[in-house]
Structure 1
Amino acid sequence: MVTAALTLNTLPNELIVCILGYIDLESLLELNRTNWHMHDLTLGHIYAVFPGRNPALFLSQIVLPRPSGLGRLANQVKDVSWMLHAPLRRQTPIAATRFNLTSNEQRDIAEAFRSLEIAVPALSPVVGLADLFEADHSNLHDNHWFLEFFLLFLPNVEGLQVYDAWQWNDHTYWFSHAAANSDHFMRLKTITIHGPLRIENIVPLLALPTLRELELWQVTVTRQASDEEFAWESPGRAVPDMLHTVSSSLEVLRLRESYLPTTSLVPIFGAIRSLKAFTYEHVANELTHAPGWNGQMDYDVLSTSLCRHPLETLCVHLAHSHTVNTSLSGLIVPLHHTLKHLDVGTFFQYSYLEIEPCINKLVDILPVGLQRLDISFWVSLDHAPERFVTADFVRRLARAMRGTQLKVLGVKYSRATMATSVRENLVQELEDLGIKLLATEDGRGFDQ
């Protein structure tokens, strides 16, 4: 009996596609050029991610080839990274300042865009966006409208990361074209935007029906430019007006390294139907300009806004370390019936005498159904007796939580306060109590 030799071409396509998921991009490109069979099978992996380089060239690849280009390659893109500039220390564009396309190519792409029949929102500075190619824009890659133009060709995008938002005009609403054409983004679930930016900038994103996770970095209130007007100060364009018919399905909202009055978040929370996870890192920003605001978080406002949501995860970090106080208690207690994961940020610990009272106060305010608690420590004294205060705090806290639903205790600590042997002993002690310890040195983040 003669058995046919097993080759790559004799394998089922489904198995080959699965194997391709383990191959690096350079190897995929080589496979893509071997024959038409491999060419077709590798396209989905090659075009699954736009890495943030030369978007005009990328557009030409997915739009210009006819008749299969737009319906084939554009549908493969699942993730987009918008990172068109080098790191700040260089300040030079990675992509060319112009499009590197011929006038005929630009015309064909503009025509393809018109065929999408995009709705143009009120007060759009770019009519239909098609004139992006036709107008003389010297810094077009720096404009948030070009990102929207780019995305409107990609109907199956699931994730978006923006690294260049610091260059955009922060006096206007971003993504208004995306909001006006939400039917083009029926798979978009996660968005991350690195600022600085204003909270008002992202208001249109809440109108996207499939958006579930939004992470924003360095959200703050900055000075208004003398020659600029805020879009939200135009008649009928205030944030409440923009959101009064919005019922967002957002489930996760993270504000990283942000610094803004809590009242600014009230309209955002009001437009979200059922928020399940919220993170707010209150970190001072030198760009902040908010007259009349003392820089403090208003726990009462935050609590009132959050308690209407079935919040399961809450992470609140202040600009300064804190101990258990009435304000923190007032924020957590109203969420007792839903909260399962709590990150209380950094705690000052000065001496052993403060451990027991602090633990008692903390345990008193923790939800009965809490399954995970994350906490960071800063120890003010470095001499030997104080080096183990963090470990002792963790040990006593775990014992105090014995018999509750707590299953995971995440601890972030400075290197000077917990030796490796101490940490290893803690892991075993907590395991005996039925609690998993995730202990990491400060700056590395908690394990998953």
Structure 2
Amino acid sequence: MNAVVIAVIAVLVLSLLRINVVFSLILGSLIGGLVGGLGIEGTLGAFTDGVGGGANVALSYAMLGGFAVAIASTGLPEAMVRGIISISGKKDTAQSKKRTRALILIMILIMACFSQNVIPVHIAFIPLLIPPLLTIMNDLQIDRRLTASILTFGLVTPYMLLPAGYGQIFHEIVATNMTASGMKVDPDQITIAMIIPALGMLVGLIIALFSYRKPRQYKNVEMPVPDEVKEEKISLKRSTLIFSILSIVAALAVQIWTDSMVFGALAGIIVLYITRTLKWKEADTILTNGMRLMAFIGFVMISASGFSSVIGATGDVESLVKTAADAIHGSQALGALMMLIVGLLVTMGIGSSFSTVPVIATIFVPLAIELGFSPMAIIALVGTAGALGDAGSPASDSTLGPTSGLNADGQHDHMWDTVVPTFLHYNLPVIAFGWVAAMIL
């Protein structure tokens, strides 16, 4: 049997069995290499040669994690929570409640979107932002399934579409792996190719707003506040907030100038250092904790790069592509649908769209070329197939993050209130829009 198929199935099955993703990728590489006739030494050599390809992404994640935790330590997220609560005002009349409800949901949506590109703190803002708002949300009877859908939209759509922050990392992964698989890609092309799939996410959000529009009752549960959090609830200096915002601007400016998230995050951290917003005696601990927060994702990227290298070294990609093309009789429509569904299954198993792209690009790029898809259509296929499943995967940050905040009082189920709603509202429209993109681009 084809070594590529066996390796991918092995990674997917191991991931579904809750084996650590890094171990799953390494074991999948070993299985694929042995089945492909590389032997132990050949497999280890190919894997070792490949891991270097994920180093830049891993370093980007580490720097971004350090910057994210540094920003969180300045009190900027807490200030945003206070702002939302103060702007909400009184909620006595029905009209006022509607206004407040809309305001809170819009603010959550904006923060979720900003967390990927503008203030790249990823899911770190959720435990800080959501729990303090739960009492107000309970009074307004906001369905938390809607809030989970809004958060997941904000955590996924920006990186799919915009080449900044985590979006730059995702686009870089797509471009690098597609180029390594036989089709040179300019990162600037990815944004254009992903517009239509991103519209699928927007349609899903609009449907969720309708699905969960009715009031839902929750009990007001008093949540224990740790002593260290109580101590932090002091008045925030205006200068600290200004310098925090300045560091974010610096990070974005340098990232755009250098086209590197590593140097962008470094610039933001330097601003925090110079302005003494980040205390010298605490800086090392804060940055180390932030890097540790993202270290796992970095290791996943490195091991995924090694996996891709082993798969390529087996030489079985070409035979798989020819077999697949023959099986679907050269049908672009059927081929596009098949690739999108495979991408959904792989991402659902691994739990990370960033880790899925190196796994599927090796197969999808040659197959799409064989079927006669245009370069833009192939980018849309790989990018969409990689992002599919991030919403709706039980093991994804995009679902675990919202649950961590919304279940602070024990009234939000991870599977039924986050995973199932986001799967239904996002994956189905994105498959449809991704298929349309592949057919018309």
Greater strand share, structure number: 1
Greater helix share, structure number: 2
Q: Highest CA radius of gyration, 1 or 2? A: 1
TM-score, length of structure 1 as denominator length: 0.20
TM-score, length of structure 2 as denominator length: 0.21
